[in-house]
């Protein structure tokens, strides 16, 4: 079933998120109180609060001292990243899990098309939040030296770039992002469980280290309604 290594508070957050996005809780509805969550999940208050913190940071809920916790409005469908820090721009919901479909060594033609040189491992998978419909069909090319094994990447609950930085002495210095729109093909739509002909955001990101080497290249297809890209830019002074 679920990854037993995943912290309890993320599991709880995932569950609550599912109940919110599925409509069990609607915008404006009160969420269970912290003590209620403690009882329901048999967890301490700290764990309940960590779960709620995640949802609050993602803008899914609003908390008010003395009053309670309610579902924020307008966030039932999309997963937005309102903050401006490096990781949150790139990620889907914090708990989005990579579900591996396929893993092979990238062939020469593919690499040439992507302007990559060197050896790369190609992972194909879905990004899911809880057991909801996938938010993305994801293809990731990882430089061979940094590639995780299949067991590691499957059910990875963070970004691949974050995993690489934690496990290898490399630092991503720059990300180039390219976004356009496409209409999904039949096979893609099937994997994502949407009708053929649905529109999707297509993103391609190149993650480079200080030397300009592409450590990671990620291509994603996000069907409309499951994902939208949000960011805030502040003016430089």
Partner DNA sequence: TAGTGGTCTAGACCACATG
Partner DNA sequence: ATGTGGTCTAGACCACTAG
Q: Which residues would be at the binding site for DNA (CB under 7 A)?
A: 5, 7-10, 31, 33-36, 42-47, 49-50, 63-69, 166-167
Residue 144 or 231 with smaller CB distance to a copy of itself? 231
User: HEC string of 74-108?
Assistant: CCCCCCCCCCCCHHHHHCCCCCCEEEEEEEEECCH
112 counts as binding a copy of itself under rule CB under 8 A: no
Based on CB atoms, which residue is closest to a copy of itself, 89 or 157? 89
Residue 78 binds which entry of a copy of itself, DNA, none, CB below 5-8 Å type-dependent: a copy of itself
Binding of residue 236 to a copy of itself (CB under 8 A):
yes
Q: Which residues contact 201 (CB under 8 A, 6 or more apart)?
A: 179, 180, 181, 220, 221, 222, 224, 227, 228, 229
| Minimum CB–partner distance for residue 16 and DNA (Å) | 12
Task: Report which of 118, 158, 162, 173 is spatially closest to residue 141, judged by C-alpha positions.
Answer: 118
Q: Which does 4 bind (CB under 5 to 8 A by kind): DNA, a copy of itself, none?
A: none
Which residues does residue 128 pair with via DSSP β-bridges, in sequence order?
Answer: 97
Contact stretch for a copy of itself (CB under 8 A) within 36-44, 123-131, 134-142, 195-203: 195-203
Nearest residue (CB) to a copy of itself, 100 versus 132: 132
CB of 215 to DNA, least distance (A): 17
- Within residues 126-145, the interface with a copy of itself by CB under 8 A covers none
* DSSP track, 121-154: EEEEEEEESTTSSPSEEEEEEEEGGGPPPHHHHT
Counting Cα atoms < 13 Å in the Cβ hemisphere of 225 gives: 8
Nearest to 214 by CA among 137, 122, 118: 118
Between the alpha carbon of residue 33 and those of residues 29, 36, 38, 67, 92, the distances in Å are 12, 5, 9, 10, 26
Tell me how far, at minimum, the Cβ of 172 lies from a copy of itself, in Å: 7
Q: Which does 213 bind (CB under 5 to 8 A by kind): a copy of itself, DNA, none?
A: none
Q: Quote the CA–CA distance of 229 and 231 in Å, as a whole number.
A: 7
Q: Which listed residue (6, 19, 57, 154) binds a copy of itself by CB under 8 A?
A: 57
| Residue 229 touching a copy of itself (CB under 8 A) | yes
Please identify, using beta-carbon distances, which residue of 105 and 174 lies nearer to a copy of itself.
Answer: 174
Query: Rule CB under 8 A: is residue 234 a binding residue for a copy of itself?
Result: yes
Residue 4's alpha-carbon distances to 14, 17, 43, 119, in angstroms, are 14, 19, 16, 33
In the complex, the residues that contact a copy of itself under the rule CB under 8 A are 57, 59, 64, 76-80, 84-86, 89, 166, 171-183, 197-202, 222, 224, 227-236
């Amino acid at each position: 079933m679920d990854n037993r290594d995943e912290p309890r508070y993320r599991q709880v957050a995932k569950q609550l998120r599912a109940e919110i996005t599925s409509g069990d809780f609607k915008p404006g509805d009160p969420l269970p109180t912290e003590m209620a969550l403690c009882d329901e999940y048999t967890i301490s208050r700290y764990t309940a609060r960590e779960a709620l913190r995640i949802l609050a940071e993602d803008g899914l809920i609003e908390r008010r001292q003395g009053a309670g916790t309610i579902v924020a409005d307008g966030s039932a469908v999309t997963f937005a990243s309102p903050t401006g820090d490096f990781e949150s721009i790139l990620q889907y919901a914090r708990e989005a899990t990579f579900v591996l479909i396929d893993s092979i060594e990238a062939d020469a033609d593919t690499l040439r098309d992507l302007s990559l040189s060197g050896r790369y491992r190609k992972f194909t998978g879905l990004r899911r939040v809880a057991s909801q419909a996938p938010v993305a069909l994801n293809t990731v090319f990882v430089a061979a030296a940094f590639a995780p094994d299949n067991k590691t990447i499957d059910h990875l609950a963070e970004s691949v770039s974050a995993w690489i930085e934690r496990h290898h002495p490399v630092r991503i210095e720059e990300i180039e992002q390219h976004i356009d729109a496409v209409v999904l093909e039949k096979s893609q739509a099937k994997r994502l469980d949407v009708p053929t002909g649905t529109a999707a955001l297509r993103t391609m990101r190149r993650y480079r280290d200080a030397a300009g080497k592409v450590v990671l290249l990620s291509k994603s297809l996000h069907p409309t309604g499951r994902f939208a890209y949000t960011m805030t830019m502040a003016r430089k002074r």
